[in-house]
């Protein structure tokens, strides 16, 4: 008899599955949800749609329990809960709210509670399992839109997908952290994405006559990013910007050689002499390869004298 009940089917639904459906219909009829729904209606709308409706009515615990009961992914439910929590927890600080959100998500991922802002020694496995439960970049965006940039940045730190992490950090204007993550990944495309964003912020903040202070900060002590920036300037014909970057970042020799390249492509005699003087200053201030720099400095001065005689 037990085997018969297990395999008995009504239409396309087994008796076993119908027992799930009936229990769910009964649960959603109870307060506080009080959603009258029949088995036929549930068959038509699907369990995933029902779970979404329940989450939209802020009954996240019931929606999560249904997902557990039938084996549905709970990512959307947890994301909805986290975003609701962020939007309506006005009295909590960023630190308190980050602790609450991560503690609940850690419990959902069967991990010990994780608190954002913890030291870097946090177990990578725990972070990965937490990120697999929830799209943290999406929740971080919600935090940013709610006027909590500190919380958004901390949530982004737990995103294990570097591309999503960098993308979110750029939206938060955390260019320095984004570049650090991009360089750490070794992905040139991500590094270039950070460079484009830094250049856009630089131009927006200071106009066309930029001092490149933001760019210098982003590229500081990051050889890969510096090399890609130099390549970008050469490929796009923006050697003047590259020369300015070298001058402002105290790379006198590189500034001198770049100025020579710029001068060789200038047609105006006055512009050429002006650029050559900048090259001479660069070679004069060069602290490395002093013999070569001294020779280059003398050669540039001779070239300037020759242009004056012409």
DSSP the chain: -HHHHHH-EETTEEHHHHHHHHHHHHHHHSTTT-----HHHHHHH-HHHHHHHHHHTT-HHHHHHHHHHHT---HHHHHHHHHHHHHH-TTS-HHHHHHHHHHHHHHHTTS----TT--TTS-HHHHHHHHHHS-HHHHHHHHHHTT-HHHHHHHHTT---HHHHHHHHHHTT-HHHHHHHHHHHT-HHHHHHHHHHHHHHHHHHH-SS---HHHHHHHTT-HHHHHHHHHHHHHTT-HHHHHHHHHHTT-HHHHHHHHHHHHHT---HHHHHHHHHHHHHHHHT--SSHHHHHHHHHHHHHHHHHHHH-
The answer to whether residue 188 scores a pLDDT higher than 90 is yes
In a domain, 245, yes or no: no
Q: What is the mean pLDDT of residues 194-223?
A: 85
Q: How confident is the model at residue 291 (pLDDT cuts 50, 70, 90)?
A: confident
Cα(63)–Cα(80) distance, integer angstroms:
11
What is the per-residue pLDDT for 110?
53
> Per the structure, how many domains does the chain have?
4
The answer to whether residue 12 scores a pLDDT higher than 70 is no
Q: How confident is the model at residue 98 (pLDDT cuts 50, 70, 90)?
A: confident
Q: What is the mean pLDDT of residues 80-85?
A: 90
Q: How confident is the model at residue 206 (pLDDT cuts 50, 70, 90)?
A: low
The answer to whether residue 7 scores a pLDDT higher than 50 is no
What is the per-residue pLDDT for 304?
80
Residue 223: Cβ within 10 Å count: 9
Q: Report the Cα 130 to chain-centroid distance in Å.
A: 17
In a domain, 243, yes or no: no
Q: How confident is the model at residue 40 (pLDDT cuts 50, 70, 90)?
A: confident
Question: Do 154 and 177 reside in the same domain of the chain?
Answer: no
Question: Do 126 and 151 reside in the same domain of the chain?
Answer: yes
The answer to whether residue 182 scores a pLDDT higher than 50 is yes
Q: How confident is the model at residue 52 (pLDDT cuts 50, 70, 90)?
A: very high
In a domain, 82, yes or no: no
The answer to whether residue 79 scores a pLDDT higher than 80 is yes
In a domain, 81, yes or no: no
- Return mean pLDDT, the chain: 81
Residue with the bigger pLDDT between 129 and 291: it is: 291
Q: How confident is the model at residue 100 (pLDDT cuts 50, 70, 90)?
A: confident
Residue with the bigger pLDDT between 98 and 290: it is: 98
In a domain, 78, yes or no: no
In a domain, 274, yes or no: yes
The answer to whether residue 127 scores a pLDDT higher than 80 is no
- Of 160, 177, 203, which residue sits at a domain end? 160
Question: Do 152 and 192 reside in the same domain of the chain?
Answer: no
Of 117, 77, 112, 80, the C-alpha closest to 97 is: 117
Find the domain containing 271 and state its range: 251-310
């Amino acid at each position: 008899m037990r085997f018969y009940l297990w395999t008995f089917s009504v239409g396309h639904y087994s008796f076993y599955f119908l027992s799930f459906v009936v229990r769910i219909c009964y649960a959603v009829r109870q307060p506080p949800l009080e959603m009258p729904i029949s088995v036929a209606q549930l068959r038509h709308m699907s369990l995933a749609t029902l779970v979404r409706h329940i989450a939209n009515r802020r009954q996240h615990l019931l929606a999560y329990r249904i997902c557990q009961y039938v084996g549905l992914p709970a990512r959307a439910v947890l994301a909805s809960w986290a975003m609701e929590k962020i939007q309506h927890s006005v009295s909590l600080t960023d630190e308190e709210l980050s602790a609450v959100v991560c503690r609940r998500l850690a419990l959902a991922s069967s991990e010990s509670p994780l608190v954002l802002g913890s030291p870097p020694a946090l177990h990578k496995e725990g972070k990965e399992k937490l990120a697999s439960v929830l799209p943290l970049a999406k929740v971080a965006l919600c935090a940013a839109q709610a006027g909590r940039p500190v919380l958004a940045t901390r949530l982004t730190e737990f995103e294990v997908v570097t591309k999503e992490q960098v993308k979110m950090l750029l939206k938060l204007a955390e260019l320095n952290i984004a570049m650090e993550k991009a360089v750490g990944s070794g992905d040139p495309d991500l590094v270039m994405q950070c460079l484009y964003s830094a250049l856009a912020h630089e131009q927006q903040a200071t106009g066309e006559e930029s001092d490149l202070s933001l760019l210098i900060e982003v590229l500081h002590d990051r050889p890969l990013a510096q090399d890609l920036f130099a390549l970008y300037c050469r490929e796009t014909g923006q050697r003047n910007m590259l020369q300015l970057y070298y001058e402002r970042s105290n790379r006198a020799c590189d500034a001198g050689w770049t100025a020579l390249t710029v001068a060789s492509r200038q047609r105006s005699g006055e512009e050429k002499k002006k650029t050559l003087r900048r090259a001479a200053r660069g070679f004069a201030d060069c602290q490395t390869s002093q013999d070569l720099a001294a020779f280059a400095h003398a050669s540039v001065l001779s070239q300037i004298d020759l242009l004056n005689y012409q």
